[in-house]
Amino acid sequence: MDWEALSFQVVFTLVAAFTAIVLVAPTLVILILSFTAEDSLHFPPSSYSLRWYAALLDANEIGDAALVSLKVALVAVTCSVLLGVPAALAIARGRSGWARWLDLLFMSPLILPALAFGFACLMLFSLVGIQPSLLTLTLGHVVISVPFVLRTTLASLSQLDPALLDCSLSLGAGPVTTFRRITLPLIAPGVASGAFIAFMASFDNVPVSLFLQDARTQVLPIHLWDIIQNQLDSRAASTCGVIIIVTILLMLLMERVAGFSSRVAK
């Protein structure tokens, strides 16, 4: 018996199992808690019901905030796909220095403190006299969602066989037709995966929204953050429950359509 190999296997597998459980457990705890029948949030609940989900039906503020978040995320992600995919094509083709600098610029919102960027945007908008609104929120969210779209699109472009493009061009198809018939169908799963992560990142963003929203355009994560910090209302749990269930369903759908998780893990 090789004790060294065994000890290595046991230690690594145990730590890995522990990490995997800790990774998933909090989401499960909230999901279970959201079905509590009690008034206070105590885990595990002594009895279960759908009362807090029913309470969501007339929680207008939560519904309004969710609607704002949905609108902003949808428009912002659409814009970042429309701007990001052409930019990814340019960066993937460009071999010179500027392509690397552009890549660095477009990816930097991922590394720079988002809160400082949100504050900087607020100063710009107030200087030119634009009040915080859906527009300012959306503009800020485009910047933070671009890196996600760009990263997965660039990854799919790097796996694209350039011979296919040469074939298409030499058979007489123009660059636009080649893009529409060859490139786009092949990179679509990558673009969709990036758009999905970008959508969730925008839907969940607090640091940038804090500076760019006003009282009428409060976004859902900030509204939830308020509830959790101040009164710890049980509807926070059922709202989280809805978010978790929708997220899991969307992810399963993306898994089917675009092979999502393997794309992100590559």
Partner 1 sequence: MASLRLAAPLGGFFALFFVVPLGLLLFTSTQAGRQIGGGFSLEQYAGFFSDTLNLSVLWNTLLVGAKATVLCLVAGYPLAWLTVRAPARLQSVLVFAIVLPIVTSVVVRTFAWIVILGRNGLVNTWILELGLSATPLRLLFSEAGVVIVLAQVQMPLMVLPLITSLQRIDPNLGSASAALGAGAWRTFFKVTLPLSVPGIVAGTILTYAACVTAFVTQSLIGGSRLLYMPMMIYQQALDLQNWPFAAAISVIFMVSVLLVIASLVAVSRTRAAQAAA
Contact positions with partner 1 (CB under 8 A) in 18-37: 18-20, 22-27, 29-30, 33
Q: How far from 164 is each of 95, 125, 253, CA to CA, in Å?
A: 19, 46, 29
The Cα 232–Cα 111 span in angstroms is: 32
Q: What 3-state class would DSSP assign to 35?
A: coil
For residue 6, give both structure tokens. 């065994």
For residue 21, give both structure tokens. 């459980």
The least distance separating partner 1 from the CB of residue 95, rounded to whole angstroms, comes to: 10
Residue 231 in contact with partner 1, rule: CB under 8 A = no
Query: Binding to partner 1 (CB under 8 A): which residues in 57-76?
Result: none
For residue 256, give both structure tokens. 């089917």
The least distance separating partner 1 from the CB of residue 79, rounded to whole angstroms, comes to: 8
Contact between residue 241 and residue 31 where contact means Cβ atoms under 8 Å apart: yes
The least distance separating partner 1 from the CB of residue 161, rounded to whole angstroms, comes to: 19
Identity of the residue, 50 or 124, whose beta carbon is nearer to partner 1 in the bound complex: 124
Residue from 196, 233, 234, 238 in contact with partner 1 (CB under 8 A): 196
Look up tokens 């503020």; give the residue: 61
Residue 77 in contact with partner 1, rule: CB under 8 A = no
Residue 249 in contact with partner 1, rule: CB under 8 A = no
The least distance separating partner 1 from the CB of residue 224, rounded to whole angstroms, comes to: 5
Query: Please, how many CA atoms are within 13 Å of residue 85, restricted to the half-sphere of its CB?
Result: 21
Look up tokens 């509590």; give the residue: 36
Identity of the residue, 188 or 228, whose beta carbon is nearer to partner 1 in the bound complex: 228
Q: Which helix (H) or strand (E) holds 48?
A: none
The Cα 35–Cα 89 span in angstroms is: 47
Q: What 3-state class would DSSP assign to 84?
A: helix
Identity of the residue, 50 or 115, whose beta carbon is nearer to partner 1 in the bound complex: 115
Q: What 3-state class would DSSP assign to 36?
A: strand
Window contacting partner 1 (CB under 8 A); options: 13-21, 46-54, 56-64, 180-188: 13-21
Query: Binding to partner 1 (CB under 8 A): which residues in 112-151?
Result: 112-117, 119-124, 127, 139-140, 142-143, 146
Window contacting partner 1 (CB under 8 A); options: 52-60, 164-172, 181-189, 205-213: 205-213
Residue 84 in contact with partner 1, rule: CB under 8 A = yes
Identity of the residue, 186 or 250, whose beta carbon is nearer to partner 1 in the bound complex: 250
Backbone angles phi, psi at 48, to 5 degrees: -115, 150
Query: Binding to partner 1 (CB under 8 A): which residues in 37-56?
Result: 41-43
